[in-house]
Amino acid sequence: MQLTVNGKSYDVNVPSDMPILWVIRDKLGLMGTKFGCGAAQCGACTVHLDGQGIRSCVAPVSRAEGKEIVTIEGLNDTLSKPLMAAWTEIDVPQCGYCQTGQIMAAAVLLRDNNNPTDQDIDNAMSGNICRCATYQRIRKAIHLAAELKKSSS
């Protein structure tokens, strides 16, 4: 099967029902995308499939054929830079395990919405669990990232 991940093309020999998460991690060795629940409940495995945030732990790899997967390792600078800068400034992570998924979910929000309100953040981010409960800082960081993105464009 032909896969495009972070702009690179890969030939993978996996069963078509293998979730994208395990192709990325076990076959391509991209470890930034995390396994949390395997049931689309926590968002730790969030990646972009043709720009849409998806739960890669339940999405079979067959869904990705002919489409573009983007993981935390390949997030474009327009979104990555303000998000990373904001996450750094607010010092968001604790254990850090869910944070790449949080950032991938926030990236979709930020791409589509230059001025996310608290309600927008609730709507976009409530699918992503942080067991350390860094939510308040994630919220602040998203607001800050929106500011940074605007000022750089």
Partner 1 sequence: MSNAQLIDRRKFIRSTALAAGGLIIAFNVPAGIRTRGVVKEPVLFAPNAFLRIGSDNSVKIILSHCEMGQGIWTSLSMLIAEELDADWKSLQVEHAPADIAYYHTVYATQRTGGSSSLNSEFDRYRKAGATARYLLVQAAANRWKVAPDDCQTANGYVVSGDKKISYGELVTDAMALPAPADIPLKDPKDWKIIGGKIKRLDTQEKIKGTAVFGMDIHFPDLLTVMVARVPVNGATVTGYDEAAALAVPGVRQVVKIPTGVAVLADDFWSAKKGRQALKVQWDLGAAANISSDSLFTEMKARADKGGIVATEEGNVAELFKQSVTKVEVEYFQPFLAQSPMEPLNCTVKLSADKCEIWTGTQTQTDDQHAASEITGLPISQVFIHTCFLGGSFGRRNITRSDFVREAVEVAKASGKLVKTVWTREDDIQGGRYRPAFLHRFKVGLDANGMPVSWDQISVGQSVMTGGPFEKIAVVNGVDTFSIEGMQAVPFIKALKNKKIAVNTPDWPIMIDNWRAVGMSHTIFAMESLIDEMAYAAKKDPVAYRRLLYKDDARLLKVLDLAAEKSSWGTPLPKDHGRGIAAFKACGSYVALVAEVSVPKNGMVKVHKVTCVVDCGTAIQPDGVVAQMEGSVGYGLSAALYSEITFKNGQVQQKNFYNYPILRMNEMPEVNTYIVPGNEPPGGIGEASVGQMMPALTNAMFAVTGKRIRNLPIYKMKMGNA
Question: Which of 25, 2, 38, 113 minimizes the C-alpha distance to 72?
Answer: 25
Q: Which stretch binds partner 1 (CB under 8 A): 2-10, 18-26, 47-55, 144-152?
A: 18-26
Residue 136 interacts with partner 1 (CB under 8 A): yes or no: yes
Q: Using CB under 8 A, pick the residue from 87, 107, 109, 116 that binds partner 1.
A: 87
Q: Using CB under 8 A, pick the residue from 84, 111, 120, 147 that binds partner 1.
A: 84
The separation between CA 153 and the C-alpha centre of its own chain, rounded to angstroms, equals 22
- Joined together, the tokens standing for residue 61 give 């790899």
Q: What are phi and psi of 47, to 5 degrees?
A: -130, 175
Site pattern 43..62 for partner 1 (x: CB under 8 A): -x------------------
- Joined together, the tokens standing for residue 3 give 């896969």
Site pattern 113..132 for partner 1 (x: CB under 8 A): --------xxx-xxxxxxxx
Residue 76 interacts with partner 1 (CB under 8 A): yes or no: no
- How many CA atoms are closer than 13 Å to the CA of 16, on its beta-carbon side? 4
Helical axes 118-125 vs 99-112, angle rounded to 10°: 130
**Which residues contact partner 1 (rule: CB under 8 A)?**
14-15, 18-19, 22, 25-27, 29, 31-39, 41-42, 44, 71-73, 83-84, 87-88, 91-100, 103, 121-123, 125-139
